[in-house]
Amino acid sequence: MIARPATALLLLVALATGCGDASGGKLDANADAVRSDGAGDAHSEDAARDDAARGDGGGGDMARADVALADGARETSTGDGAGDGASADTTPARPRVFPGASWATRTPAQVGLDATKLDQFVSNVGGAGVIVRDGYLVRSWGSSSGKFDWASAAKPVIATMLMFAVEEGLLASVDAKVSSAGWQLNAQDQNMTFRQLANMTSGYARAEGPGQAWAYNDVAIKLYAVSVFDRVFKQTPNAAALAAARLGALSFQDGSIFSSRGGHGVSTSPRDFARIGWLWLNQGRWNGKQLLPQSYFTQYQKPGVPATLPRTAAAGSDYLNVGSYGGDSDQTAYGPGIYGFNWWFNAIVPGSGGKRAWPAAPPDTYQANGHWNREVVTVIPSLGIVVAARGQWDSGENDFRPGDASWKMNQNLALLVQAASP
């Protein structure tokens, strides 16, 4: 389980168009050019200052008054009585809020962030995005309301929908066989599971059988998306996601979520994708209600691929003719030890001499990554920030080097960490 100290910081960043309940429940991430025009919108830092001057932190659309405390601590409400009493852990924590019709705003200083460090981060990444801390929007640049394809950063959203399918009894567990969705799989793939699709170990369209090798595999991801939406929910991805008891409860400000990549890709705004990241940081809890059991996040919000699992050695066949989600069926050696449930985790990178994926970031950091640092969702529960941005997380290096302290991705994450330091 990822460490989750009482103070929570969520980073959610979306980049250029392109590539885990105390109540129980069922157990069981080709870039286009990026425009960086610095244009702000209604949730810019200037708007935050205006809200602060009014004293309302966000006007009529300010976040709900619920305060969620980290990891099972007592939750209270000063507004709608949605708190549900105390649990075993009553450790005090910085209050968190949830957005209503829009995000409530604060200046960086109001939530304990260094604006200069944030400005440097924004300058390095470029594009468009938002930064959220403790449920408040504290920085906005470009068009935070503009919608675009999130490429592989969408994959954890599919994983979230897989959780809903299990919770609703549409699947027995994440270990349900993919064949239960009606596919005529070949003999090698008969035991393939949804968990293996989420962990990139399914073996589909590769030579190895399920669970035998790691492959960052966009052909298998297409099978995953079609299976979850078309065959399990039997709905379009957008209709399934926006159901009121599912992600629709997040009240997305800019409408639809799924529309790209034949309908199976996430196309949304930075400020709306930030809501999904905030749901994960709060382990399935949203504004006083547990949408998904916390136990799911305890199980899946951590690396799921064994560090010793070998990389795939040879291609197989897309015999179901599902096509690709975007890339080929073997894209990187990185994944064992640091990937799980479609997220990248700040765990020890095999062969790195004990270094974590992002050495400058806290150990509990995890990330959805599209087009290798173009569209990114980063969550850091121990610090408490959300960044959703469109640009270049690696400052244009166009490389993917987990464990390398000189990697610009790591250095830009360092700026966010420094902004939150006392």
Q: Indicate the range of 12-16, 308-312, 359-363 predicted with least confidence.
A: 12-16
Question: Residue 399 has what pLDDT?
Answer: 93
Q: Is residue 26 one of the residues assigned to a domain? A: no
pTM for the model stands at 0.81
* Mean pLDDT in residue range 381-405: 90
Q: Is residue 34 one of the residues assigned to a domain? A: no
Q: Compute φ and ψ for 295, nearest 5 degrees.
A: -60, -30
Alpha carbon distance 215, 278 (integer Å): 29
**Buried-exposed string 269-289: b where 16+ CB fall within 10 A, e elsewhere:** bbbbbbbbbbbbbbbbbbbbe
* Mean pLDDT in residue range 152-179: 98
Mean residue pLDDT of the chain comes to: 82
Whether pLDDT at 29 is above 50: no
Alpha carbon distance 179, 236 (integer Å): 20
Residues 298 and 260 sit within 8 Å (Cβ to Cβ)? no
DSSP code, position 228: I
Q: Is residue 250 one of the residues assigned to a domain? A: yes
Question: Residue 26 has what pLDDT?
Answer: 43
Question: Residue 380 has what pLDDT?
Answer: 85
Tens-place pLDDT, residues 294-331: 999 999 999 999 999 999 999 999 999 999 999 999 99
Residues 74 and 87 sit within 8 Å (Cβ to Cβ)? yes
Query: Token match 């994959």: residue?
Result: 155
Q: Is residue 353 one of the residues assigned to a domain? A: no
Q: Is residue 28 one of the residues assigned to a domain? A: no
Question: Residue 170 has what pLDDT?
Answer: 98
Question: Residue 148 has what pLDDT?
Answer: 95
Question: Residue 55 has what pLDDT?
Answer: 34
* Mean pLDDT in residue range 112-122: 95
In the chain, what percentage of residues exceed pLDDT 70? 78
pLDDT band at 421 (very low <50, low <70, confident <90, very high): confident
Q: Which domain holds residue 82?
A: 45-344+359-420
Of 164, 170, 235, 224, the C-alpha closest to 198 is 224
Q: Is residue 321 one of the residues assigned to a domain? A: yes
- 6 by Cβ neighbours in 10 Å (0-12 / 13-18 / 19+) ranks as middle
Q: Is residue 317 one of the residues assigned to a domain? A: yes
pLDDT band at 60 (very low <50, low <70, confident <90, very high): very low
**Domains contained in the chain, number:** 1
* Mean pLDDT in residue range 278-296: 96
For 22, half-sphere exposure in the C-beta direction (CA atoms, 13 angstrom radius) is 14
Whether pLDDT at 72 is above 90: no
Pick left, alpha or beta for residue 25 (phi over 0 → left; psi -120 to 50 → alpha; otherwise beta).
left
Alpha carbon distance 203, 280 (integer Å): 27
CATH number at residue 285: 3.40.710.10
Q: Is residue 25 one of the residues assigned to a domain? A: no
Tens-place pLDDT, residues 73-104: 333 222 333 332 222 232 336 778 999 999 99
